Amino acid sequence: MIADNFDEALKKVIAMPNDYKAGEEFRYNQTNYYLLGLIINKLSGMTFQEFIAKGQLQKVGIEKTIRSGFGATK
């Protein structure tokens, strides 16, 4: 985890240097999911986790995933 809250994490991400110029290389990371979460929160008023749980997981009945939460990987 990069930080304890969204605002602190965003400040850290913005301060990080780019590894390469846009369009030159690709490397997977979680930053885009963080930015997507900010957009979802602003437009829907829900966190990324709430939005996915209500908009996808509940609709298909994936209750164990909803109960365990997104951070339950340990």
Q: Which domain, by its residues, includes 40? A: 6-68
Residue 56 within any structural domain of the chain: yes
- The predicted structure's pLDDT at residue 42: 93
Q: Is residue 12 domain-resident?
A: yes
Give a yes or no: residue 1 inside a domain. Answer: no
Q: What is the tally of structural domains in the chain?
A: 1
Nearest C-alpha neighbor of 18 from the set 7, 31, 9, 6:
31
What does the angle CA 41 – CA 50 – CA 60 come to, to the nearest 5 degrees?
130
The per-residue pLDDT for 34 is 77
Residue 74 belongs to a domain: no
pLDDT of residue 74: 46
The pTM for the full model equals 0.56
Q: How far is CA 42 from CA 10, 38, 39, 47, 52, in A?
A: 15, 6, 5, 9, 15
pLDDT string in tens for the chain (74-residue length): 677 877 887 888 889 888 889 889 988 777 778 788 889 999 999 988 889 888 888 888 887 776 766 655 54
Q: Measuring CA to CA, which residue among 47, 49, 45 is closest to residue 68? A: 49
In a domain, 63, yes or no: yes
